[in-house]
Structures are given as C-alpha cells and as structure tokens.
Structure 1
Amino acid sequence: MSTRDVLIIGGGAAGASAAFHLAKAGHKVTVIEKKSTNTIKACGGGMAASVQRLFPFDLSPAVDEVINKVEFSWCLDDRVVADLAETSPFWIVRREMLDCYLMNQASLEGAELLQPLSAEKIEREKDSWQITCSNGKQFESRSLVIANGSKSQWPRKFGLGPKKQKHAVTTSVRLNGKGNLKGGSARFEFGLVHHGFAWAFPIANGVNVGVGTFIGREIADSQKILDKFLPDLGFDPNDGERKHSNLRIWNGQNVLHGEGVVAIGDAASLCDPFLAEGIRPALMSGCNAAHFLNRWLKGDNNALASYTQCMQKDWGASMAWGSRIAQVFYRFPKVGYQLGIKRPTAPERIAQILSGEMSYGDIAQRVIKRLLFQNQ
C-alpha cells in the first residue's frame, strides 16, 4: 500500500481547490468522491467574482451567468434593484459543472480522482492516516482533508468545527427555460418565507430557484411559497424537481485543524449564516488549507494552526457579524427590509457584499442598531 502526501475526502468545490494547489506544489494527492460525475447538486450557484484571485487559471469557462443587477422584493412587490455595474460582478455557476472544472484542473497537475467511492473508516495511526473505503480498498496518507460537505460525520469525530451545528434548511428547484427572469439579473424575495428568503438565479438554459430558512429546523409550507414565487417568475408552480437539504452554516469561531488533518468548505460549517453563500468560503478554505498543508508537509509543525487562524480572521470575523445581522433581520424581516434593503445606500452596499468587495463587519453595527432601535 503506497502512501499519499494528502488524501482528500470529497471532490466538490472545496476539495478540488485544495487538490489543485497541493498537486501543483508537487505533492501526491488522491481525492475520493462518493458521487458519480454530472450529478445535479442542490445549490443556488451564486459566487463572488473576487474568488478569481484564488486561482492562476481562468474560472470563466465554469460561469453560466454574470450578474450585473440584483432585484429584491417583499411579498412579490415593493421592489429594489441593486446595480453591480460599478463593482466586481456576481457570478452564477452550476455546482456540478464548477466542481468538475476545478477537479479537471487538479487532475492536470497530477491529482488522482477516485469515484464513486466513500470513506467508511478513518483512523490516525502513529504519523499517518489509515482510510478504509466502501469497496474495501485501503489508503495510507500523511495528511487528511475533510471536504465532503454538510453531511460529513468526520469533523465531529476529530473535534473540528462547531460542537453544536447550526443549519439552514433549503428546498431547491432547477427549471428549464428562463421564464421572465432577465439576463444578467438575479432575484431575492424576502416576504414570502418565514425566517428566510427565496431566490432565483439564471443558469445556462434554465433557472435555479430556492427557498431557505435560517431560524428553526424546517421550512413552513415550501410548496405554498413556490406556488406564489414560481408564477411570478413565469413558471408553472409544479415545474422542476424539488431537492431538500440541510446546509451547515457558520456557528462561531472554531478549530478547523488537528494533527495532520483540516476541515474545509461545508464540512467545516463555513456557509454564510445570512445569505447562505457557500461557494466562496469553500474555495477560500480549500486554497488556504492547501497553502498551510504544503508548509506542514515540508516540516512547519505550526502551519495547520495558522490555517485555523487565517480562516477565523479572513472569513469568521465577517460571519460573526453576518450571524448577528441574520438573527435580527429574520426575526423582524419587514422592518429589516424597510431599513436594510430600501435605504438609499443599500443597493450599493448589497452589491459590494455579494461581489465580495465588502464584509458584514463594515456595515453590521449600524444595521443592527437601526433594526433594534426601530423595534423598541
């Protein structure tokens, strides 16, 4: 049994990003992915264009739509439009296509992809990881990257991420055709969903529609919401196939590393607790993990602790404010819409957040004080 430098569990956006950078650095990398190729993933697909700086290759082949306008509504009315023309745009991707594209780039650098295959047993023995897979095949690796999403059992086993997980509950629909959604435009609807929002993002020859809630453990009457939202988009209420999922969202600053192991992406509970943005933290954590794992593999024993510190600073600090905003906004959504979305400066600020040019911390204290003052 040969020993790998890195074994990555999960070949999604986070795992593929880590695989690319680690393979490019000259390490022997194996990725095991339980799903077969071209499996549709329940994901809105929104991605800040600022992630391009994380990669030395062009991401545009994986981008379906460049969003220049974002439209917001309250109960299908009272609309506000944010123009992204003066800042970095907001991209829409199909997750299965993005993941495949990133994994192909990793393969070109020498990373090995094995699928469909899942890890059934993982143990730390002396200075290496021993992994037994669903087909009985065994691997040995100097280091381990946990990147197999919100359903992963491994972070908790190895003491990574939050002890108490917090979830956004989502229902996703992929539709053929664009309906009346305009090219280069995305839609957010806040009034129809209790403790959450609905969205519509254009993709190639179709639209990704979703409903998500951030407080509580279920969506109340998701079909009733879609019965109203889909016709407003120009679709029949019964169009498309529904997919339901629980998405781990950020829930405090937590340790994301252990001895020779890191957690990244949704497995690390990094998803934005306000707007459910998951692709940017997946790519960011995958690339950062690769950087610090490369240092660790070359003998820097403190490098993995630096990974945790980096993610806490570059992502967690903003998400701490995003979580506070979400708790207030989704408990007082109508006030939040009036004072947060409809303010004269709001469209510009929203555009900057969606494009990755501004963090929640830049606006949070003013927003929370405004919302709380209004409800006293």
Structure 2
Amino acid sequence: MTADQSVTEPVAATGAATMVDVAIVGGGLAGSLAAAVLARAGHRVTLIDKRAVYPDEFRVEKIGGPQLEMFRKLGFIRGLESVACPYDRVLNIREGKLVDVSVGQAYGLPYADLVAMARGQIPDASSLIVDEVTAISCSDDVQQLELASGRRLKARLVVLATGMAGALGYKLGIKRRVLAAGHSVSFGFTIARRDGAPFDFNALTCYGERTADGVDYLSLFPVQAGMRANLFMFRDPADPVMRDLRRDTEATLLRLLPGLRPYLGDFHVTDRVQNWVMDLSVVEGHLQDGVVLIGDAFQTNCPAAGTGVARLLVDVERLCTEYAPRWLMTEGMGKAKISEFYSDRDKIAADQQSLKMAHFRQALTSRNDIGWDVRRRLHFLRRSLTHRVDQMRPGWLAQVRSALRA
C-alpha cells in the first residue's frame, strides 16, 4: 500500500535525513497515544502513518472500567469525554431475563474518533508524517528509516505500532506465531427503532443462549450516530450464519438471541455491517536493537474478552513514561535496554491475562461438556443472586468487597 500522495510532498532521497528521538510507525490508537505521551514530555517524536485521517474501521468502540483510570493517568480523560457518549448503567440479560445491572462510567465512540482524539493531543501537528515506511535499518545506536516518498529519517528508538500488519517486522526477522486461527468473529453495526422512539435502556448486554450458536454476547451502547451493536462469536468464520448476519442482520440476530425481541421491538440496522475475524497470535524474534513493538504488533487479543485496550494502555504507559524516557538519557539503544520493556511485570501480566481471558470466554461460550455446562450455569446464577442481594441491601456487597481487600 502506498501513502496518500495528495497530502505527502515527495522529498528527494538524497536529502539529509531528519533526526528525532523516537519514530513511531503506525498511527492507530497505540501509536497515536504513544506519540502524544512522549511529545508532551518534551521528546522529539515523529508519528508516521499513510493516512492523514484515520478511516472508519471496526475496532475499539467503547471504553470503561479500569481503562478509564489509565486514560486519566496518561492525561487523555478530558479528550475522551469531549468526543464520546457517556453511559453508566448496563442491563445484562440472558434468555430474555435480567441477570444483573452493571453500574459504572463508560463511553461509546467510533474508533476513528478515538484515534483523532489521541492525535489531537500531540502538541505539534507537524509531528505526523503522512507517508509509508518501506525499510528500517536498526543498530544499537541510531535507527535508519526509509519512506515511500524518498524521505529518510533517523531515530534513536523506533516503535512499531503497526497492528497485525507485519511486513516491516518480517523484514527485520520478526515473525508472528498463530496460537489460534480464526479464534473469534466480531460484528459491528448501528441500530434504531423504526418508529424513531428511543430504546427503553441506556445500554444492554445480551448473552448467548445455546452453545451450538457460538454467541458470546451482544453489547448495545450509545454513540453519537445512535445505538451501537457489537456482536462477539466463537464460530467458524466460513459458517453460513456469518453471511446471514451481513445480509439479513435483524432476522438473524433475533434467531440467535430470541430473548432480545422484547427489548428491541421493531428495529433496523442503519449503517454498514462490519465484521472482523481475529487470530490469536504473538511475535517471535522481536528482541532487537533499537526497535520495540507495542499493542497488536506484539500480541493480538480476543475482542470478546475486552482486554485489548487494557493491554495497549499498559504498553503505552510502561514504555512511554518509564522506559523510553530513561533510555534516551544515556547513549545507545541496544537489546539490553529494549529487553527491560518486554520483561516488565505489568506488561507480562497484562499479556498473560489477555490470553487467559480469550480462552475462558471461548470455553464459557462454546464448551458443551458437563463440567463447563455446570460452570456456565453457576456463573450466571452467581451474578443473578449477587444482583438480588444488592437490590435488597444496596451497598452491602461493595462494603464486603472493600473489607476483603483491606
């Protein structure tokens, strides 16, 4: 793929290379957040992406829970609040019955808006170069980058935030090992009632009813365009039901989740149905001089597990507030420095938790042996009983949990 030449001025290949502290390759959420954190700390940063405006892609669309504290810690919470739709109450249902109610601040927004917010936090807009990196030459001192336009850059550190696009990493000898091909399938679309009336809920999660369907859950939450739907499944991506979900979304959704009907009424899909097939994978051969991988470039996540943003934020926080600033204070950028990031306890814990939750969600959704059937029933029964107790004695469970943590 080539850069958007309408916004990229070709620079002669013989021109002098620009020197920066950190060159970040990939301007999605991970790269844009990392660029903003480092640039605000006073480092010379260049963010390189082939798109001046990030396209409308089905990726992260809601932020909540512990993720909000990390956004706050990194200084992005006000930016998030300015572009997202807030909600603080989610009805959780299964087989048409209420399981419990989740209470806590959360936000819904398109991924493109989330990336634009992060890029908007970079102090100097010229730090974004709309171009494509075609080659990287790494050493234990200075890294050389060649761009499609002919421009050349030098950087002490290169951060690869290229997601699952592994061409550059492959050229460096970094390979991706697939742990589970076609692990999960996700769908994203927006819905509305045909009569134009609002839905009777602020946000709703509907869990799958039958293991054979492979439906983990449908999450409904507000965005500026209306009520957004994220459907997460563990099922063969080639199964005919995937085609049905794209072509006849409303009927197929109610066939898979009949308990939804009383909550949605007469609804329709208002925009394009997008879907994503996710492989679980990790990289190998990544410990190299002068280059570090973050986010999906290092390890992919199961969208249903909801751990992708948490992992990404841990990577950004640890690299950009702890390691990169310290590395830049001394000469060299060899493997000994780079290994500190990959050995970080918080990063390792986040990576391991992400894989653990990916396998747990799949088993809880799809396994039909007696052991998992009992576990599944107990999982939802425990949640339902907890909710009933909390209704009878509001705040009592929170007090118990607080006492146990003390």
Q: Same fold (TM over 0.5)?
A: yes
Residue 131 of structure 1 aligns with which residue? 145
What is the alpha-carbon distance in structure 2 between the residues aligned to residue 119 and residue 347 of structure 1? 52
Residue 200 of structure 1 aligns with which residue? 220
CA contact 2:61–2:109 (8 Å) conserved in 1: yes
Residue 205 of structure 2 aligns with which residue? 187
Residue 56 of structure 2 aligns with which residue? 40
CA offsets 1:191-226 (integer angstroms, 9 cap, x no match): 374264433232113233233334655465124343
Question: 1:152 Cα shift?
Answer: 3.5
Question: 1:229 aligned to 2:253?
Answer: yes
Question: 1:118 aligned to 2:132?
Answer: yes
Question: 1:90 Cα shift?
Answer: 2.9
Query: Rg: which structure is higher?
Result: 2
Instruction: Tell me which of 135, 140, 146 is aligned to 2:154.
Output: 140
Name the SS of the counterpart of 1:68 in structure 2.
strand
Question: 1:99 Cα shift?
Answer: 1.0
Name the SS of the counterpart of 1:41 in structure 2.
coil
Name the SS of the counterpart of 2:209 in structure 1.
coil
Question: 1:288 Cα shift?
Answer: 1.8
Question: 1:112 Cα shift?
Answer: 0.4
- TM-score, normalised via structure 1 length: 0.76
Q: Which moved more, 1:201-210 or 1:150-159?
A: 150-159
Instruction: Give ranges in structure 2 of 5+ residues lacking alignment.
Output: 1-16, 255-259, 388-406
CA offsets 1:13-60 (integer angstroms, 9 cap, x no match): 111111112112221111112234152120251222233333234231
Q: Residues 208 and 253 from structure 1, CA distance in 2 versus in 1: closer, same or farther, beyond 3 angstroms? A: same
Q: Residues 132 and 195 from structure 1, CA distance in 2 versus in 1: closer, same or farther, beyond 3 angstroms? A: farther
Question: 1:304 aligned to 2:338?
Answer: yes
What is the alpha-carbon distance in structure 2 between the residues aligned to residue 4 and residue 207 of structure 1? 43
Question: 1:344 aligned to 2:368?
Answer: no
Residue 316 of structure 1 aligns with which residue? 351
Amino acid at match of 1:63: A
What is the alpha-carbon distance in structure 2 between the residues aligned to residue 347 and residue 155 of structure 1? 47
Question: 1:137 Cα shift?
Answer: 2.5
Question: 1:90 aligned to 2:109?
Answer: no
| Higher RCO (CA-CA < 8 Å; seq separation 6+) | 1
Question: 1:5 Cα shift?
Answer: 1.2
What is the alpha-carbon distance in structure 1 between the residues aligned to residue 338 and residue 360 of structure 2? 30
Q: Which moved more, 1:136-145 or 1:303-312?
A: 303-312
Residue 50 of structure 1 aligns with which residue? 69
Q: Residues 121 and 220 from structure 1, CA distance in 2 versus in 1: closer, same or farther, beyond 3 angstroms? A: farther
Name the SS of the counterpart of 1:259 in structure 2.
coil
Instruction: Tell me which of 246, 270, 284 is aligned to 2:277.
Output: 246
User: What count of residue pairs does the alignment treat as equivalent?
Assistant: 341
CA contact 2:132–2:148 (8 Å) conserved in 1: yes
CA offsets 1:313-365 (integer angstroms, 9 cap, x no match): 441242243134134213327936533234236877xxxxxxxxxxxxxxxxx
Name the SS of the counterpart of 2:178 in structure 1.
coil
Name the SS of the counterpart of 2:184 in structure 1.
strand
Name the SS of the counterpart of 2:31 in structure 1.
helix
Q: Which moved more, 1:207-216 or 1:282-291?
A: 207-216
Q: Residues 171 and 137 from structure 1, CA distance in 2 versus in 1: closer, same or farther, beyond 3 angstroms? A: farther
Question: 1:258 aligned to 2:288?
Answer: yes
Amino acid at match of 1:90: A
CA offsets 1:293-317 (integer angstroms, 9 cap, x no match): 2222222864432322234444124
Amino acid at match of 1:15: G
Q: Residues 184 and 124 from structure 1, CA distance in 2 versus in 1: closer, same or farther, beyond 3 angstroms? A: same
Instruction: Give ranges in structure 1 of 5+ residues lacking alignment.
Output: 349-376
Report the RMSD for the aligned CA atoms in angstroms: 3.5
CA contact 1:83–1:347 (8 Å) conserved in 2: no
CA contact 1:124–1:130 (8 Å) conserved in 2: yes
Q: Residues 216 and 206 from structure 1, CA distance in 2 versus in 1: closer, same or farther, beyond 3 angstroms? A: same
What is the alpha-carbon distance in structure 2 between the residues aligned to residue 190 and residue 196 of structure 1? 5
- TM-score, normalised via structure 2 length: 0.71
What is the alpha-carbon distance in structure 2 between the residues aligned to residue 277 and residue 235 of structure 1? 33
CA offsets 1:227-257 (integer angstroms, 9 cap, x no match): 33378445655542122333354x5797865
Q: Which has the higher helix share?
A: 2
Q: Residues 342 and 202 from structure 1, CA distance in 2 versus in 1: closer, same or farther, beyond 3 angstroms? A: farther
CA offsets 1:149-178 (integer angstroms, 9 cap, x no match): 233434455466852254533232245678
What is the alpha-carbon distance in structure 2 between the residues aligned to residue 174 and residue 238 of structure 1? 6
Q: Which moved more, 1:180-189 or 1:135-144?
A: 180-189
